[in-house]
Structures are given as C-alpha cells and as structure tokens.
Amino acid sequence: MARNRTDHPRERTPFLSRPGVRRLAPFVLITVIALVFIFENRSSVEIRLLVPVVTMPLWGALLIAWALGMLACLITVRRRPNRHSRHPK
C-alpha cells in the first residue's frame, strides 16, 4: 500500500534555527543599532576631507561611513566563495 504525504508530515525546522536566519540575525541587529545611533546624532560638525573643511550633520557623515562599510562587507563576502572553490591544476 502506498503511503500518502499526510501519513508522515515532514518536520519543519524552527525559524530561528535555520542557517539563513542565523547568518542574517546578527547583521539585522547590528544594522538596527547602528541606524539608531546614526539618527540620534543630529548636531552639525566640521569634517576635514583631506584639504577642504565641510560642515554637515553628524548623522550624514555617520550614514556615509556606515554605507561604505556595508559596501566593503558585501564585496568581501561575495569574493570569499570564489577563493575557496579553486581547484589545483
């Protein structure tokens, strides 16, 4: 006699123990904390960009620094699997 799919329901993995969620959770937590910190600092500051001095809100400078850090992280993470998948000749 053939078994139905309803005879043995497949156990589902709890949401928080899935590998994708486990990797994404620290990223989301750090991002939320960083964005709260960034938008709480609303005063204007002078920033020296090598030669010129620029006056801008601190949240803008922090947001630019955060975005550049995220970009560097994405570039690093995207390159990592390629480095390990090389086969010796």
The domain in which residue 72 lies consists of 44-79
**Contact by Cβ (8 Å): 46, 54:** yes
Residue 31 within a domain: no
Q: What is the pLDDT of residues 15-48, one digit of tens each?
A: 767 777 777 888 888 889 988 998 898 899 999 9
Nearest one of 30, 53, 56 to 43, comparing CA atoms: 56
Residue 85 within a domain: no
The residues, any chain, with a CB within 8 Å of residue 59's CB and separated by 6 or more, are 38, 39, 40, 41, 42
The structural domain count of the chain equals 1
For tokens 């078994």, the residue is: 3
Could you tell me what percent of the chain has a pLDDT over 90? 13
pTM score: 0.58
